[in-house]
Amino acid sequence: MSEEVKTEQEETLYCECCGCLIDDDDYTEWNGQIICSDCLENHTTTCECCGERIWDEDVYGDNDITLCSHCYHNNYTRCSCCDALLHEDDAYYLDGETYCRDCYEDEREESNLIHEYGYKPNPIFYGEGNRYFGIELEIDGAGRDDDFAEELLDIANAHADLLYIKTDGSLDDGMELVSHPCTMDYHINEFPWEDIMHRAIHQGYRSHQTSTCGLHLHVNRNAFSDSQEGQDEVISRILYFVEHHWNELLKFSRRSEYAMNRWAARYGYEHTPKAIMDKAKKGGNGRYAAVNLCNYHTVEFRLFRGTLKYNTFIATIQLVNRICDAAMYNTDDSIAKLSWSDFVADVTEPELIQYLKERQLYINCLLYTSPSPRD
């Protein structure tokens, strides 16, 4: 075969879509294939999100936007009510469902913004990890107001269904903000708590500056162990830590002795974690205990006075997390020997260190600051 014939055969190109002979340079090499210009124009398009070229048959989206599979599944969702395609930034969330703005407003009008005290939706867990914190933050003084509740929910649930609001008979003229369970990292880095608190203050609510408000933290029991026996061992050490360091925790809590006895009473000191656990199981405090054990799935830390000061709020989550760590990673003997100074010496979280200094509870603090009159 002559060199001329070989060259002609080697340079003959066919479109891998329609099979036609390609003239001159009228083709595009795309996705490992040779495509003629007609097929490229008539059978492919580009994703309006990332700009990638895709086959027409692989298009996602709707009449208003063309999307590739990756962008559709990673950046978009659909309204649970009308099925409209939504960018995640434009989605609204309510009771675990996703809505467009119009359907969200309709659903909100039909549902109660402020639920009754006994309302308990199915929990939605946020964050990567096995220890989750469900927060109950009581605010008072500006009413059980649907408009105020809507503003707070708009902030909290703009990108996920994170928060709901309930009534609480212990409050004079307020409501209780309740989070779905989140990891500590999620509460700090994803949950818009600071914006929620600023809005609540602007609305006229108070939390620390009342005699009614508490800040309660629920921790899932199965974060301590998979077995009931293992969970009880860790919880017994939590109770021991609280009793052993009662004076420090009372100072941390910002509560008075009277308020603590009313809303978060202690079980009473015993010499071993097991002895305190036995007393707690027989005790008559009910849920109004410093560490409430009445819930099947969670342990509730009830010691803390309410707050709308963001650093105090985050420091409280961090303290409870540290107490849980101490109970999990110490034996009964070693937790009995754990002094407050040894406990705080390992603290690295800046929010917790700052608050410990403010309350004169940080052993390495050389210049103590006076506790803030607000929180």
Mean of all residue pLDDT scores within the chain: 89
Supply the pLDDT for residue 4.
45
Would you say residue 6 has pLDDT above 50?
no
Neighbours of 314 (CB within 10 A): 21
Rg, C-alpha atoms of the chain = 29
Q: Is the pLDDT of residue 355 over 50?
A: yes
User: Quick one: pLDDT at residue 364?
Assistant: 55
Q: For the whole prediction, is pTM greater than 0.75?
A: no
Task: Give the C-alpha separation, 80 to 93, whole Å.
Answer: 10
Q: Please report where in the chains the tokens 């509460």 appear, as a residue.
A: 187
pLDDT, position 332: 97
Strands 214-220 and 291-292: unpaired
pLDDT of residue 254 exceeding 70, the answer is: yes
Q: What's the mean pLDDT in 330-341? A: 97
Q: What is the pLDDT of residue 369?
A: 42
* Confidence bin at 111 (pLDDT 50/70/90): low
pLDDT at 186 over 60: yes
pLDDT value, residue 229? 96
For residue 104, what pLDDT is reported? 83
* Euclidean distance between CA atoms 287 and 114, whole angstroms: 23
Q: Give the mean pLDDT of 349-357.
A: 97
Q: Is residue 282 predicted with pLDDT exceeding 60?
A: yes
**Greater model confidence, 99 or 356:** 356
Instruction: Identify the pLDDT of residue 22.
Output: 75
Is 70 exceeded by the pLDDT of residue 109? no
Angle at 204 between CA 202 and CA 210, to 5 degrees: 130
Is residue 315's pLDDT more than 70? yes
289 secondary structure, DSSP code: B
- How would DSSP label each residue in 42-109? HHEEE-TTT--EEEGGG-EE-SS-EE-HHHHHHHEEE-TTT--EEEGGG-EEETTEEE-HHHHHHHHH
Q: Report how far residue 28's alpha carbon sits from residue 32's, in angstroms, rounded to the nearest whole number.
A: 10
Centroid of chain to Cα 98: 17
Average pLDDT on 7-20 reads: 68
Domain 48-111 sits in CATH 2.10.110: yes
Plot region of 162 (φ>0 → left; ψ -120 to 50 → alpha; else → beta): alpha
Kindly report the length of the chain: 375
In this structure, of 3-7, 21-25, 48-52, 114-118, the range with the lowest mean pLDDT score is 3-7
Report pLDDT for 370.
Answer: 43
Q: Quick one: average pLDDT of 232-245?
A: 98
Q: How far apart are CA 240 and CA 222, in angstroms?
A: 19
Around Cβ 257, how many Cβ atoms within 10 Å? 8
Mean pLDDT of 36-40: 80
Q: Mean per-residue pLDDT for 74-91?
A: 88
The secondary structure of residue 166, as a DSSP letter, is E
Check residue 50 and give its pLDDT: 86
Q: What is the mean pLDDT of residues 17-46?
A: 78
Residue 25 has pLDDT above 80, yes or no: no
Assigned token pair, 19? 């099979």
pLDDT confidence band for 10 (50 / 70 / 90): low
Q: Give the domain ranges of the chain.
A: 13-46, 48-111, 133-358
Calculate mean pLDDT across residues 186-201. Answer: 98
Asked if residue 3 has pLDDT above 60, the reply is no
